[in-house]
């Protein structure tokens, strides 16, 4: 088995056909110029040691040398041995509020962007834990099933926005009930939900859902984003604020963070509430919390360990180019005596 470390260097192989095209163009020009100067028989008498074969042979060596150098830059890696990797960790589900209230800019740049950056910072310090993502407003939808692919998780995370759910509101119970379905491994001892929200819940069932999650061994940790003073919900068009969301009486709606309900949910599911506005404090809290949990071995797979092979290609490439430089275009006496190429 093999891998290519930097396959984009293959584009540099386009140099070789350009060299050959240039060679034939120059050769054609030389022949026309020589024909204007003298006949071919006279030219052979004037330069009896000129080889017809070596110029093309030198170009072939140069082309092979360049090809080998490019192959060295690509750095092919060849598998040498099989290794077994065992991973231990915790299953984590991120439940992220994408309701319209998360557009409030009482914390920069807004609550939703702050939540996404918070989750991304947590993912950055994970090593072997599995993660999943849920987005919720008046209902909850799965975004990413449990996986160890942190790159995919960040991609789905950045795609979250307040327009992905048509029905608005903040149904914490729907998010928690859906989170429970992500943990399909009955042997997993540590199941964790990180719920990021401003705490504006319009279902009043969040605490009951937290209790149901606790009954099946799920711990819930909540992070509140936004300020207690609150702020209006901007309505933007092309990035510019046109107005602010208003209620039925025409008054501007002020949305405030509600830490009380987030605290109740965390306490009901053996978790803890943390101020999500302080990213560094959250990251440190998560690191300490996960460190104290028992890890379960949930994956063991074999993969091929690859070793770099670029050295041989670079050496051979430089050697061919060096030989091409010191190879003259005149006839080689001992080869001429062998008459391998029919040279007279």
Residue 329's domain comprises 2-75+309-338
User: What is the average pLDDT value for the chain, to the nearest integer?
Assistant: 83
Say how many domains are in the chain.
2
Closest-CA residue to 69 (of 314, 280, 248, 256): 314
Residues 63 and 178 occupy one common structural domain: no
How do residues 289-341 score in pLDDT, each as one tens digit? 998 887 776 665 555 667 777 888 899 989 988 888 887 666 555 455 555 54
Residues 121 and 266 occupy one common structural domain: yes
pLDDT at 8: 86
HEC readout, the chain = CEEECCHHHHHHHHHHHHHHHHHHHHHHHHHHHHHHHCCHHHHHHHCCCECCCHHHHHHHHHHHHHHHHHHHHHCEEEEEEEEEEEEEECEEEEEEECCHHHHCCCCCCCHHHHHHHHHHHHHHCCCCCEEEEEEECCCEEEEEEEECCHHHHHHHHHCCCCCCCCCCCCCHHHHHHHHHCCCCCCCCCCEEEEEEECCCCCCCCHHHHHHHHHHCCEEEEEEECCCCCCEECEEEECCEEEEECECCCCCECEECCCHHHHHHHHHHCCCCEEECCCHHHHHHHHHHHHHCCCCEEEEEEEEEEEEECHHHHHHHHHHHHHHHHHCCCECCHHHHHHCCCCCC
Do the domain assignments include residue 157? yes
Do the domain assignments include residue 80? no
Residues 138 and 254 occupy one common structural domain: yes
Tally the residues of the chain. 344
pLDDT at 64: 93
Tokens encoding 308:
């770099």
Residues 95 and 149 occupy one common structural domain: yes
- 135-149, 178-192, 295-309, 319-333: which has the minimum mean pLDDT? 295-309
pLDDT at 242: 83
Residues 133 and 191 occupy one common structural domain: yes
How do residues 219-276 score in pLDDT, each as one tens digit? 999 999 999 899 998 888 877 878 888 888 888 889 999 999 999 999 999 999 999 9
pLDDT at 207: 86
Residues 324 and 244 occupy one common structural domain: no
CATH number for the domain including 162?
3.40.50.410
What is the strand order of the sheet 2-4 is part of? 2-4, 76-89, 296-308
Q: Which residue has the higher pLDDT, 82 or 232?
A: 232
């Amino acid at each position: 088995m093999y891998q290519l470390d930097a396959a984009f260097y293959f584009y540099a192989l386009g140099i070789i056909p350009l060299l050959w095209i240039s060679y034939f163009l120059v050769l054609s020009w030389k022949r026309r110029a020589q024909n204007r100067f003298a006949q071919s028989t006279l030219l052979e008498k004037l330069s009896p040691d000129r080889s017809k074969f070596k110029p093309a042979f030198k170009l072939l060596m140069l082309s092979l040398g360049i090809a080998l150098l490019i192959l060295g830059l690509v750095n092919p890696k060849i598998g040498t041995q099989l290794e077994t990797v065992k991973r231990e960790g915790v299953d984590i589900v991120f439940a992220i509020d994408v309701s319209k209230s998360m557009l409030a800019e009482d914390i920069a740049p807004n609550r939703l962007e702050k939540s996404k950056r918070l989750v991304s910072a947590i993912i950055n310090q994970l090593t072997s834990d599995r993660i999943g993502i849920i987005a919720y407003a008046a209902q909850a939808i799965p975004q990413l099933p449990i996986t160890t692919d942190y790159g995919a998780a960040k991609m789905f995370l950045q795609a979250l926005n307040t327009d992905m759910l048509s029905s608005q509101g903040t149904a914490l119970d729907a998010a928690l009930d859906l989170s429970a379905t992500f943990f399909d491994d009955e042997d997993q001892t540590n199941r964790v939900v990180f719920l990021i929200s401003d705490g504006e819940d319009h279902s009043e069932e969040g605490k009951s859902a937290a209790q149901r999650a606790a009954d099946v061994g799920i711990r819930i940790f909540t992070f509140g984003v936004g300020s207690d003073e609150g702020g209006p919900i901007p309505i933007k068009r092309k990035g510019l604020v046109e107005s602010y969301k208003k209620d039925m009486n025409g008054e501007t709606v002020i949305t405030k963070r509600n830490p009380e309900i987030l605290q109740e949910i965390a306490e009901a599911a053996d978790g803890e509430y943390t101020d999500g506005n302080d990213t560094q404090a959250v990251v440190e809290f998560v690191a300490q919390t996960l460190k104290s949990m028992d890890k379960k071995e949930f994956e063991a797979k074999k993969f091929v360990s690859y070793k770099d092979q670029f050295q041989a290609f670079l050496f051979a490439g430089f050697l061919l180019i060096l030989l091409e430089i010191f190879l003259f275009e005149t006839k080689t006496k001992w080869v001429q005596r062998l008459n391998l190429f029919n040279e007279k």
